[in-house]
Amino acid sequence: MTTFSNEDVKYFADFVRIGLSEEDKEKFSAQIADLIESVSNLKEVDVTDVKPMTHPVAMINVLREDEPKDILDREVMLASAEDQEDGLIKVPDIL
C-alpha cells in the first residue's frame, strides 16, 4: 500500500486553504492511499491491442455548414417590428 501521511494531507489542505481536524487527516490519508493503490493497479492491464484515442466517444460534426440564406424578406420583418429606425429594429435601452 502506498503511504500518504497526515503531513501530506495537511500540506494539500493548507494549499487549498481548508481546515482539517486530526481525525479528518487520518481518514483522508487512508482514502488517498487506497485511491493511489487502485489507480496503480491500472499498470497491470494489458493494453497492447488498444488503439490510442483522444476522446472516448467518436466525435463527428453533425451540424450543417453555415451558409447565408434569405429566409425572410427584410420589409416583412420590419413591418412586424414594434419600432424601427433607418431599416433596423429599434429596441429599448437596457442600461
CA distance 87 to 95: 23
CA distance 6 to 32: 11
Look at residue 84 and tell me if it is in a domain: no
Q: What is the pLDDT of residue 2?
A: 63
Look at residue 83 and tell me if it is in a domain: no
Look at residue 33 and tell me if it is in a domain: yes
Write the pLDDT tens digit of every residue in 37-55.
899 888 899 989 988 888 8
Q: What is the pLDDT of residue 27?
A: 92
Q: What is the pLDDT of residue 14?
A: 92
User: What residues pair up with 85 in beta bridges, in sequence order?
Assistant: 88
What domain count does the chain have? Answer: 1
Look at residue 20 and tell me if it is in a domain: yes
Domain interval for residue 36: 1-46
Q: What is the mean pLDDT of the chain?
A: 87
- By three-state DSSP, how is residue 85 classified? strand
Look at residue 13 and tell me if it is in a domain: yes
Look at residue 15 and tell me if it is in a domain: yes
Tell me the average pLDDT across 6-18.
90
More confident residue, 7 or 1: 7
Look at residue 68 and tell me if it is in a domain: no
Grade residue 17 by pLDDT with cuts at 50, 70 and 90: very high
